[in-house]
C-alpha cells in the first residue's frame, strides 16, 4: 500500500505560511484593472452607498429608494425597487445593440459538437421557453425543478423561470432519482424540465428515467418538459410529458416581461448541511443580481466587450448559477459553456478549448487543477494559452503546490490568481484578492471583497489577532446573502445565526496570517468537501443504514491528493448477516457503494468502506469520529482513553491497512 501524504489541508498550508511567499500586482495590470486601489476605502467609507452604486448598474423598472432593511437575521435589499432578472441578463443587451454578440460558445462533450448562441438567439429562446412555461400553467412564485445536462437549454430554462418570476430549483444531473424526488417534494415543484439524457465521460447517460422514477413519489408534478439531447428511447406519459421541440420551439419568440419586486424569490439551491436532509437555500432577485454582477466584473476584471470568460463548473452547483449564468450575463459577457468534465474528450481537451476560443479568464476548482497537474506540464505547454489574463479558483482550499502549478503552467507567471471563497449561502464571492490591486499568496483568499465585513473569531466570538486561527464569520449583511432555508426559518436561525450572536457563521475555519491576510482552512462541521462538492457525513451514513444488512455506519472525510477529501465509511453489519470470506466482503462493499450511489448519487460513493465488528464509541455511546478520521488518514491515533473499548480502534486500524484503497 502506498504512503498517504495529504497535499491539501492545514499541513501544507501552514508550511507555506512560514515561507510567506507573496506576489505583488504588476503596475501595468493595475493601470488597466476595472477596480482601482481606492476601491476598498470607498466601499468602507459608506458600505451601503457603495452597494447602491453597484445596484444602479442594473436596469430597474422602478428605482429603489431604500438600500437595506435589516431585522437580524432577515435582510431586504433594495426592497422598493422593481426589476426583471432575465431582462437584465438578456433583453437590455439586445436593446443596447449587442444582439449579435456571442453569449455562449457551447462546447458539447463529444468532439466537434458545438453551438454559438448570441444574445439575440438567447432572447428568442428564452421568450419561447417563457411562453411555453406559461402555457403549462406556471405562474410567478411557482417552483420549477431543472434536472439537465450542461446544454444551452439548461441556461434558457433558468432564465425563462426568472423571466416569469417562477423560482427554479436546479438539481445536479449526477444526483439520483431519490435525491431529485426529495428536492422536488421539499419545495413542492409542479413542473420539471429535463432531457432524455446527457453525455458524461464519453457515453450517453440517462436523465428522463430518473425523473420518471422520482415522480412516482411526487404526485403533484403535473408537467415534464423534456429536451431531446442524446436520442435514447424514453418512456412517455401522455398529458404529463412534453417534448421541448414540440412545446418550446413552436411557441412565440416574443414575450413581454413584467417586473418583480427586488425580493422576489429567484431560485432555490439545495445544499448539504450537517443533517441528512439537504437545505433549500433561497436567493432573491435584486440583491443577488447586484452581488454576482459586481463580483464578476471586479474580481475577474472582465472587459465585456473583449473578453471570453470560462467558468468550468456545472450549472447544477451555485458556481454555475452565479458565474456561468447570472453574473456573466448581467454584465453582457461572452462565456464558454462546456458540457463535459475535464477528463472527457482527451487529456488536453481543456487546453484546446482555451486555445480555440481564446479564453481570457478561467475559473475552476482546485480538484481539477490537481487532476490536470497529475497529467503533467507537457499538455498545457503544447497549446497556445497566451489569451489567458486572469485565473480563478473556488470550492475548497487550494494547496500551494497546485496554486504554483496553475500560476506557472497555465498562467505562465503572467496571470494573477484569484482564490475566491464563498458558499451556496453567500450567493457570490465574499473573500478574494482583486487582480492588479491585491497581492496574492499561494493558498490564501487574502481579504474581504469591498463592501463585505468578515472576521476570524475564537470560540467565544472574539476576533483573533494576526498569526492566529479561528472561525470565519461575516459581520454585516451583504446583498447576495441567502434569505432563508425553504420552509424552515428556525433552521436558518440555528444554522447560521446562533453559534455567535449577531453574526453569520460560515462553518469554515480560517486563519489571519502575520500581515492580517485570510487563509480559509475548510469546514469545521460534519460537511465533507469532495472535489468541491459538499456532502454531509450524516447523509452518507443515512444512505448506508438504509441497506438491510447494515447495523451502524460512521462516515468521515479523509484528505485525498486529488479530490481534496474522500469519503471513508466504517460499517457494522447486523447480527444475522454472515460475511465469511473475502469474496463475500467484497460483494457486500460493492453493494453498499451502489446503495449510496442510488440514494444520493455517484459523487457520494465512498472511496473505501471498512466492515468492522464494532465502532469506536465513548462511554456515553457517541461515535468518535476524530479517531476514525485519524485511522482513515493513517495518522498516529490520538487520545483513546475515553473509549469504551480501546481495542476497537486498533482492530479497525489493522483492517484499514490490510484492505487497501479501491478506486471510486
Ligand atoms: C462556491 C462553493 C462552500 C464551502 C465553503 C468552504 C469551501 C469554497 C473556498 C473554500 C477554501 C476557497 N459553494 N470553499 N471556496 N474553501 N477556499 N476559495 O463552493 O456551498 O458548494 O461550498 O466550500 O468550506 O464553506 S459550496
Output the CA 396–ligand 1 centroid distance in Å. 5
> In a mutational test of the pocket of ligand 1, which residue from 268, 313, 421 has the highest number of ligand atoms less than 8 Å from its CB?
421
pLDDT of 66-77, one tens digit each?
999 999 999 999
Q: What is the mean pLDDT of residues 238-255?
A: 98
Q: Whose CA is nearest to atom 3 of ligand 1?
A: 423
Please tell me if the domain spanning 118-258 has the same topology as the one spanning 531-657. no
Residue 104 forms beta bridges with which residues? 117, 335
Output the CA 523–ligand 1 centroid distance in Å. 9
Could you tell me if the CB of 523 is within 6 A of ligand 1?
yes
pTM for the predicted model, two decimal places: 0.90
User: What b/e string do you get for 543-564 counting C-beta neighbours within 10 Å, with b at 16 or more?
Assistant: bbeebebbebbbbbbbbbeebb
Task: Note the pLDDT of residue 618.
Answer: 73
Strands (DSSP E) contained in 492-582 are 504-512, 518-523, 527-530, 533-536, 550-560, 564-573
Q: Can you tell me which residue has the cell 464563498?
A: 422
Provide the percentage of residues in the chain whose pLDDT is more than 90: 77
Separation of alpha carbons 505 and 488, rounded Å: 17
Q: What is the mean pLDDT of residues 118-126?
A: 98
**Residue 252 corresponds to which cell in the numbers above?**
412565440
Separation of alpha carbons 126 and 130, rounded Å: 6
Could you tell me if the CB of 271 is within 6 A of ligand 1?
yes
Q: Whose CA is nearest to atom 10 of ligand 1?
A: 396
* Residue 664 pLDDT level (bands cut at 50, 70, 90): very low
- Asked whether residue 642 carries a pLDDT value surpassing 70, the answer given is no
Could you tell me if the CB of 426 is within 6 A of ligand 1?
no
Q: What is the mean pLDDT of residues 482-510?
A: 97
Could you tell me if the CB of 556 is within 6 A of ligand 1?
no
> In a mutational test of the pocket of ligand 1, which residue from 10, 268, 423, 517 has the highest number of ligand atoms less than 8 Å from its CB?
423
Task: Note the pLDDT of residue 17.
Answer: 53
Could you tell me if the CB of 424 is within 6 A of ligand 1?
yes
Output the CA 407–ligand 1 centroid distance in Å. 21
Q: Please state which CATH number belongs to domain 118-258.
A: 3.40.50.980
Separation of alpha carbons 364 and 309, rounded Å: 11
How far is CA 202 from its chain centroid? 23
Q: Whose CA is nearest to atom 17 of ligand 1?
A: 397
Separation of alpha carbons 336 and 320, rounded Å: 12
Task: Note the pLDDT of residue 4.
Answer: 31
Please state the domain extents for the chain. Answer: 118-258, 531-657
* Residue 229 pLDDT level (bands cut at 50, 70, 90): very high
Output the CA 624–ligand 1 centroid distance in Å. 26
Q: What is the mean pLDDT of residues 294-315?
A: 96
Output the CA 422–ligand 1 centroid distance in Å. 5
Q: What is the 3-state secondary structure (H, E, C) of 297-321?
A: HHHCCCCCCCCEEEECCCCCCHHHH
Could you tell me if the CB of 364 is within 6 A of ligand 1?
no
Q: Can you tell me which residue has the cell 432555490?
A: 268
The torsion angles phi and psi of 239, rounded to 5 degrees, stand at 90, -40
Q: Please state which CATH number belongs to domain 531-657.
A: 3.30.300.30
Region label for 422, one of left (φ > 0), alpha (ψ between -120 and 50) or beta (otherwise): beta
Task: Note the pLDDT of residue 526.
Answer: 83
Task: Note the pLDDT of residue 662.
Answer: 42
Output the CA 311–ligand 1 centroid distance in Å. 15
Task: Note the pLDDT of residue 394.
Answer: 96
pLDDT of 9-58, one tens digit each?
555 555 555 456 999 998 888 888 999 989 999 999 999 999 999 999 99
Amino acid at each position: 500500500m502506498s504512503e498517504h501524504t495529504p497535499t491539501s489541508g492545514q499541513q501544507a498550508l501552514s508550511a507555506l505560511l512560514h515561507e510567506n511567499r507573496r506576489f505583488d500586482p504588476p503596475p501595468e495590470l493595475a493601470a488597466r484593472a476595472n477596480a482601482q486601489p481606492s476601491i476598498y476605502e470607498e466601499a468602507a467609507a459608506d458600505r451601503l452607498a457603495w452597494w447602491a452604486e453597484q445596484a444602479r448598474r442594473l436596469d430597474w423598472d422602478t428605482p429603489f429608494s431604500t438600500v437595506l432593511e435589516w431585522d437580524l437575521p432577515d435582510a431586504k435589499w433594495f426592497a422598493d425597487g422593481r426589476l426583471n432578472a432575465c431582462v437584465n441578463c438578456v433583453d437590455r443587451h439586445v436593446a443596447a445593440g449587442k444582439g449579435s454578440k456571442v453569449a455562449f460558445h457551447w462546447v458539447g462533450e463529444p468532439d466537434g459538437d458545438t453551438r454559438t448562441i448570441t444574445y439575440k438567439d438567447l432572447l428568442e429562446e428564452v421568450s419561447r421557453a417563457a411562453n411555453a412555461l406559461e402555457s403549462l400553467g406556471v405562474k410567478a412564485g411557482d417552483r420549477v425543478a431543472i434536472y439537465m445536462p450542461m446544454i444551452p437549454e439548461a441556461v434558457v430554462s433558468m432564465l425563462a423561470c426568472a423571466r416569469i418570476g417562477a423560482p427554479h430549483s436546479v438539481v445536479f444531473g449526477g444526483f439520483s432519482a431519490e435525491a431529485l424526488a426529495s428536492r422536488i417534494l421539499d419545495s413542492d415543484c409542479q413542473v420539471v424540465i429535463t432531457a432524455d439524457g446527457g453525455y458524461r465521460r464519453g457515453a450517453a447517460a440517462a436523465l428522463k428515467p430518473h425523473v420518471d422514477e422520482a415522480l412516482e413519489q411526487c404526485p403533484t408534478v403535473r408537467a415534464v418538459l423534456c429536451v431531446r439531447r442524446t436520442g435514447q428511447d424514453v418512456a412517455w406519459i401522455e398529458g404529463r410529458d412534453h417534448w421541448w421541440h414540440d412545446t418550446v420551439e413552436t411557441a412565440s419568440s416574443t414575450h413581454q416581461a413584467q417586473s418583480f419586486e427586488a425580493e422576489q424569490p429567484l431560485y432555490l439551491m439545495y445544499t448539504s448541511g450537517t443533517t441528512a436532509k439537504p437545505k433549500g437555500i433561497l436567493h432573491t432577485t435584486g440583491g443577488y443580481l447586484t452581488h454576482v454582477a459586481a463580483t464578476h466584473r471586479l474580481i475577474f476584471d472582465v472587459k465585456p466587450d473583449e473578453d471570453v470568460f470560462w467558468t468550468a463548473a456545472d450549472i447544477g452547483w451555485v458556481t454555475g448559477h452565479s458565474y456561468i449564468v447570472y453574473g456573466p450575463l448581467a454584465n453582457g459577457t461572452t462565456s464558454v459553456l462546456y458540457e463535459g468534465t475535464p477528463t472527457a474528450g482527451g487529456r488536453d481537451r481543456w487546453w484546446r478549448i482555451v486555445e480555440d476560443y481564446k479564453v481570457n479568464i478561467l475559473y475552476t476548482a482546485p480538484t481539477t487543477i490537481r487532476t490536470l497537474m497529475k497529467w503533467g506540464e507537457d499538455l498545457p505547454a503544447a497549446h497556445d494559452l497566451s489569451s489567458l489574463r486572469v485565473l480563478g479558483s473556488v470550492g475548497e482550499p487550494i494547496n500551494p503546490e497546485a496554486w504554483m502549478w496553475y500560476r506557472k503552467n497555465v498562467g505562465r507567471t503572467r496571470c494573477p490568481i484569484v482564490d475566491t471563497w464563498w458558499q451556496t449561502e453567500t450567493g457570490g464571492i465574499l473573500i478574494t484578492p482583486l487582480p492588479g490591486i491585491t497581492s496574492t499568496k499561494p493558498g490564501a483568499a487574502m481579504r474581504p471583497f469591498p463592501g463585505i465585513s468578515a472576521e476570524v473569531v475564537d470560540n467565544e466570538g472574539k476576533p483573533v489577532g494576526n498569526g492566529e486561527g479561528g472561525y470565519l464569520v461575516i459581520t454585516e449583511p451583504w446583498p447576495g446573502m441567502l434569505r432563508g432555508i425553504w420552509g424552515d426559518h428556525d433552521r436558518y436561525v440555528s444554522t447560521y445565526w446562533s453559534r455567535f450572536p449577531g453574526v453569520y457563521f460560515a462553518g469554515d475555519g480560517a486563519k489571519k496570517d502575520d500581515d492580517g491576510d485570510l487563509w480559509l482552512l475548510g469546514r469545521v462541521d460534519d460537511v465533507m468537501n469532495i472535489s468541491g462538492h459538499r456532502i454531509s457525513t450524516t447523509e452518507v451514513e443515512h444512505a448506508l443504514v438504509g441497506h438491510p444488512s447494515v447495523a451502524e455506519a460512521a462516515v468521515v472525510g479523509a484528505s485525498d491528493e486529488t479530490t481534496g477529501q474522500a469519503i471513508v465509511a466504517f460499517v457494522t453489519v447486523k447480527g444475522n448477516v454472515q460475511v465469511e470470506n473475502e469474496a463475500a466482503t467484497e460483494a457486500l462493499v460493492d453493494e453498499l457503494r451502489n446503495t449510496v450511489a442510488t440514494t444520493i448519487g455517484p459523487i457520494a460513493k465512498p472511496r473505501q468502506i471498512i466492515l468492522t465488528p464494532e465502532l469506536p464509541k465513548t462511554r456515553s455511546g457517541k461515535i468518535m469520529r476524530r479517531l476514525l478520521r485519524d485511522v482513515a488518514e493513517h495518522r498516529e491515533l490520538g487520545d483513546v482513553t475515553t473509549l469504551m473499548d480501546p481495542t476497537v480502534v486498533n482492530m479497525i486500524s489493522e483492517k484499514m491497512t490490510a484492505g487497501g484503497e479501491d478506486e471510486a
